[in-house]
Amino acid sequence: MRARDIPNLLCVLRILLTVPVGWGIVTGRYELALVLFFVAGATDAVDGFLAKRFSWQSRLGGMLDPAADKLLLATAFITLWMAGYVPTWLLLAVVARDLVIVTGAGLYRWLIGAFEAEPSKISKLNSLLQLSYVILILAKLVFGLPTPALIAALGWCVLATTVVSGVDYVIRWGARARAVKA
């Protein structure tokens, strides 16, 4: 193993952590789920820092990192929904957006060719809000705080950024595809 492989290994660790995070939520072990969710978040921060700081970016890492993020968030949202803590409308919006992005990326790759994933600012904000939403729900279950009103308000913010970022992806990548085909 080379040092430049550390970011990719951290992405794989984040992918592996999705199983115990989901298991912790489904079985009511919210403390465990919260701790592991934080560990997974830390791996995301560290792998991003290392890749940028030391120029250890790779094509594999460019695919693993967003896949790990989506898998972790989807697992958290689905299991929290199963446990009754995420409303159905929000789960559907989050999952639909990710399906649109993954399907669009696959179609672009198949019909046009390789591309570099470039998350927009609104997409990064959406990811931050989704992470915050999961953390606040788990914090509520573990510590009794924050208030349900704060969680609900954040849920509406997640919905807004989910819709806007999903539409943004369709517009931006649709325009790129038309430009390449023209």
Tell me what pLDDT residue 91 has. Answer: 98
Helix/strand/coil for 102: helix
Confidence grade of residue 117 (pLDDT, cut at 50, 70, 90): confident
Say if residues 180 and 112 touch (Cβ distance below 8 Å): yes
Confidence grade of residue 168 (pLDDT, cut at 50, 70, 90): very high
Residue 61 has pLDDT above 90, yes or no: no
Count other C-beta atoms under 10 Å from residue 1's C-beta: 7
Count other C-beta atoms under 10 Å from residue 55's C-beta: 8
- Average the pLDDT over each of 103-107, 116-120, 155-159 and give the range with the smallest value: 116-120
Domains of the chain: 3-181 (1.20.120.1760)
Confidence grade of residue 113 (pLDDT, cut at 50, 70, 90): confident
Count other C-beta atoms under 10 Å from residue 107's C-beta: 12
Q: Which amino acid does the sequence have at 21? A: V
Say if residues 21 and 35 touch (Cβ distance below 8 Å): no
